[in-house]
């Protein structure tokens, strides 16, 4: 299902695309390098700031607001959902476990298995580094399913289903099986030569907060991934 109205693109920064819009939600394709929401150091170059400006049509004193439903890491590209009302935000968040999220990842090497589910308890230390642990009191049980779509000489393209939504989950789990994501400076190979992290939130399936209709929204495969593994957009 696609959005019905025509976005006013002059209020959107380069690389941020609206892929669905209706009276309750706005779904965007976020570029890599952009925060979902602001921090103390960066408040304006964020998807939240840009979409707020979009709904206000550039008029900063407008009372119109949007609400963040979920987030992506700064270096991860792809689908982010915003709600137009707090009620719709809470409805989506309360039913988030029923939401299915699929990612694409290009990883170093070849996976030992063509598909599988990675399971571990994930914990975070004081330096905000997430790691796997066997201690169920220390970490939160996390599941990541993957399937190999394509193999190149030195790396593989994976389709990843995020079965639980923990911080940095995909990045930590793939690194843990010996297949870190290209360009992941935190959990991947140090100085691997890839400036962009090859992780993209490709699609999402969820029930609309007002109509209850099941929505399936999908983005395009980034050209960057096509260059890495070849033939994605043409296959």
What secondary structure letter does DSSP report for 21? E
Q: What is the pLDDT of residues 40-92, one digit of tens each?
A: 665 568 999 999 989 988 667 778 899 999 999 999 999 999 999 999 999 99
Burial label for 11, CB within 10 Å (0-12, 13-18, 19+), is middle
- pTM more than 0.85: yes
More confident residue, 149 or 1: 149
CA proximity to 51, closest of 63, 36, 39, 72: 36
The pLDDT of residue 106 is above 90: yes
Contact between 187 and 198 under an 8 Å Cβ cutoff? The reply is: no
What secondary structure letter does DSSP report for 35? B
d(CA 235, CA 225): 13
- What number is the average pLDDT over the span 148-160? 93
Helical residues (DSSP H) of 102-232, grouped into ranges = 169-176, 223-229
Contact between 200 and 175 under an 8 Å Cβ cutoff? The reply is: no
Q: What is the pLDDT of residues 119-143, one digit of tens each?
A: 999 999 999 999 999 889 999 999 9
d(CA 17, CA 27): 9
Give me the catalytic one of 53, 73, 88, 184.
73
- What number is the average pLDDT over the span 193-199? 94
Spatial CB neighbours of 17, under 8 Å, sequence gap ≥ 6: 28, 29
Alpha-carbon torsion angle 98, 78, 197, 114, nearest 10 = 50
Task: Give pLDDT, residue 1.
Answer: 43
d(CA 233, CA 3): 22
Task: Give pLDDT, residue 7.
Answer: 47
- Tell me whether residue 73 is one of the annotated catalytic residues: yes
Q: Mean pLDDT lowest for which of 77-81, 159-163, 179-183, 230-234?
A: 230-234
């Amino acid at each position: 299902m696609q959005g019905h109205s025509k976005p006013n693109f002059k209020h959107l920064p380069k690389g941020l695309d609206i892929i669905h819009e209706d009276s309750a939600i706005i779904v965007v394709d976020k570029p890599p390098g952009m925060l979902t929401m602001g921090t103390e150091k960066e408040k304006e170059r964020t998807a939240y700031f840009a979409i707020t400006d979009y709904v206000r049509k550039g008029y900063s004193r407008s009372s119109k607001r949007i609400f963040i439903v979920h987030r992506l890491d700064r270096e991860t590209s792809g689908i982010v959902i915003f709600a137009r009302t707090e009620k719709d935000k809470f409805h989506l968040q309360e039913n988030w476990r029923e939401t299915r999220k699929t990612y694409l990842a290009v990883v170093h090497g070849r996976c030992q298995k063509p598909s599988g589910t990675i399971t571990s308890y994930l914990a975070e230390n004081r330096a905000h580094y997430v790691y796997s642990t066997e201690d169920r009191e220390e970490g939160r049980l996390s599941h990541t399913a993957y399937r190999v779509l394509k193999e190149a000489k030195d790396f593989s393209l994976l389709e990843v289903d995020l079965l639980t939504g923990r911080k940095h989950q995909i990045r930590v789990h793939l690194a843990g099986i010996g297949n870190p994501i290209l360009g992941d400076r935190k959990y991947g190979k140090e100085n691997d030569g890839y400036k962009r992290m090859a992780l993209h939130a490709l699609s999402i399936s969820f029930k609309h907060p007002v109509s209850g209709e099941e929505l399936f929204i999908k983005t395009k495969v980034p050209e960057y991934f096509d260059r890495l593994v070849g033939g994605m957009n043409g296959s």
